[in-house]
């Protein structure tokens, strides 16, 4: 049974990894893989009632992640429909390459911490098209956006799907993850920025872009929706801390408040019906990335199948015996996330190590959040941010390896070294 489940997972994951080659959407592959893993498990298990209970238990955890993501996507899409992000991007007037590099890097870093790395990447790549005319020059900045988005997403509970998973799973708390990973994350970005600062010279040429006008929207309306949306996202960890309810409850509250606020705004809105409807939350819900939601459902179901069948537990024992050192294990997982999507990697690690053995805010979970989050920047396919940038700017895989990968790698290793050294100076020894 175990061998069969592993075989199905490997084949399914290969189909996901080579999505573009086989021309089958990864969501379909993930859903089929997840269902087949559980089908094999129940067919080889005499107690079908127990299997169904296990499935429903895991589905509860998975659903909390999916509803959280749906809520976050809805709020961000609503802000975008009101052109709220333009309030931020219109303030950037710098043309000096070096100065612009730091502005873009730092802005992306903090936006990703508040929103998420995927959304931030999409927003920033769209911004760069308005700021930089030359495509080759722009690609360097897009590469930095990928590094900055992943670094910024790693140190907050809402900045990256993997950090969110650890937060919802009870492995990390919002305050401690922000306190523990802020400096390592910013180092992983600062090192590449410093290196590039020695090579970036001159000014960028701006393209002539027709400014989008929204006759029916005032600046005050744009600012209001932006501030309200960002406030709702920031409110989520505070809501969880105060009420001890799952994070998706706070996110749903935020969606409800945004819904009411924009409905009231529309009450006094006059103009074309299509323009009005585009900005209603009902319309926004039709534009959220549902395939990504279903992809997470499929892959997390598959990982849960590996967990209940004992595969992940055995893998943890094997890694402990062969590698032994926890730092080496976590750094290896981070490097693997450059090739393998960090969502299943983190989900697998959650299944490998129990919270009873490694309680909330343990060294393992914090270091894992950093490594899985920032390690994905080493290759363009290693993170959702990288894949999005690759699609939007048609970035060549090998160009990224040649120009950006080494920058991401030294940043990743510098941040990891800082985290381990910080523990050494506070405890008198390295964690093993």
Nearest Cα to Cα of residue 419 among 179, 66, 147, 135? 179
What confidence tier does 213 reach under pLDDT thresholds 50, 70, 90? very low
Collect all residues with Cβ–Cβ distance below 8 Å to 255 and sequence separation of at least 6.
Answer: 71, 74, 75, 232, 281
Highest mean pLDDT among 83-92, 236-245, 265-274: 236-245
Closest CA to 89 of 125, 143, 119, 135: 125
CB-neighbour burial class of residue 429 (10 A; exposed 0-12, middle 13-18, buried 19+): exposed
| Cα distance between residue 212 and residue 238, in whole Å | 36
Residue 57 has pLDDT above 50, yes or no: yes
Calpha distance 246→167 (Å, rounded): 10
Rounded CA-CA distance 157/169 in Å is: 11
Please give the average per-residue pLDDT across 71-99, as a whole number: 83
Asked if residue 411 has pLDDT above 90, the reply is yes
Cα 347 from chain centre: 14
Higher local confidence (pLDDT), 216 or 113: 113
- pLDDT of res. 270: 52
> What are residue 203's phi and psi, to 5 degrees?
-120, 160
Q: What integer pLDDT is reported at residue 209 of this predicted model?
A: 52
Q: How many CB atoms lie within 10 A of CB 265?
A: 15
**Of 60-69, 139-148, 208-217, 402-411, where does mean pLDDT reach its minimum?**
208-217
325, 362 Cβ separation under 8 angstroms:
no
Distance CA 408, CA 390 (A): 16
Q: How many CB atoms lie within 10 A of CB 145?
A: 31
Q: What is the pLDDT of residue 371?
A: 94
Residue 283 has pLDDT above 90, yes or no: no
Tell which phi-psi region holds residue 160, choosing left (phi > 0), alpha (psi between -120 and 50) or beta.
beta
DSSP 117: H
Query: Above 80 in pLDDT, residue 30?
Result: yes
């Amino acid at each position: 049974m175990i061998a069969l489940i592993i075989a199905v997972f490997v084949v399914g994951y290969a189909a996901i990894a080579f999505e573009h080659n086989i021309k089958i959407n990864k969501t379909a592959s993930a859903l089929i893989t997840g269902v087949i893993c559980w089908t094999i498990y129940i067919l080889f298990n005499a107690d079908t009632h127990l299997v169904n209970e296990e499935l429903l238990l895991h589905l509860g955890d998975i659903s909390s992640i999916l509803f959280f993501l749906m809520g976050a996507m809805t709020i961000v899409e609503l802000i975008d429909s009101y052109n709220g992000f333009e309030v931020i991007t219109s303030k950037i007037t710098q043309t000096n390459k070096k100065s612009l590099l730091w502005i873009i890097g730092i802005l992306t870093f903090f936006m990703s911490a508040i929103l998420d790395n995927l959304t931030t990447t999409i927003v920033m790549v769209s911004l760069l098209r308005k700021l930089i005319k030359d495509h080759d020059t722009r690609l360097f900045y897009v590469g930095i956006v990928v590094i900055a988005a992943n670094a910024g997403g790693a140190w907050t509970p809402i900045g990256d799907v993997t950090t969110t998973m650890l937060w919802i799973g009870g492995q990390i708390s919002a305050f401690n993850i922000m306190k523990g990973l802020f400096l390592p994350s910013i180092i992983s970005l600062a090192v590449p920025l410093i290196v590039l600062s020695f090579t970036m010279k001159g000014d960028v040429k701006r393209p002539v872009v027709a400014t989008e006008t929204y006759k029916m929207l005032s600046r005050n309306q744009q600012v209001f929706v932006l501030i309200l949306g960002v406030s709702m996202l920031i409110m989520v960890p505070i809501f969880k801390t105060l009420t001890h309810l799952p994070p998706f409850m706070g996110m749903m509250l935020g969606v409800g408040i945004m819904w009411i606020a924009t409905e009231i705004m529309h009450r006094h809105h006059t103009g074309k019906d299509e323009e009005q409807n585009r900005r209603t939350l009902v319309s926004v819900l039709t534009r959220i990335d549902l395939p990504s939601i279903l992809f997470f459902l499929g892959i997390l179901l598959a990982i849960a199948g590996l967990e209940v069948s004992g595969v992940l537990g055995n893998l943890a024992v094997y890694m402990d015996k062969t590698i032994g050192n926890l730092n080496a294990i976590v750094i290896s997982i981070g490097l693997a996330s450059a090739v393998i999507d960090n969502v299943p990697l983190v989900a697998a690690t959650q299944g490998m190590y129990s919270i009873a053995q490694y309680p909330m805010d343990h060294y393992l979970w914090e270091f894992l959040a950093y490594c899985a989050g920032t390690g994905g920047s080493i290759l363009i396919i290693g993170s959702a941010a990288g894949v999005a940038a690759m699609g939007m700017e048609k970035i060549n895989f090998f160009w990224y390896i040649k120009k950006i990968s080494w920058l991401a790698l030294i940043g990743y290793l510098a941040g990891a070294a800082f985290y381990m050294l910080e523990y050494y100076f506070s405890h008198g020894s390295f964690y093993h």
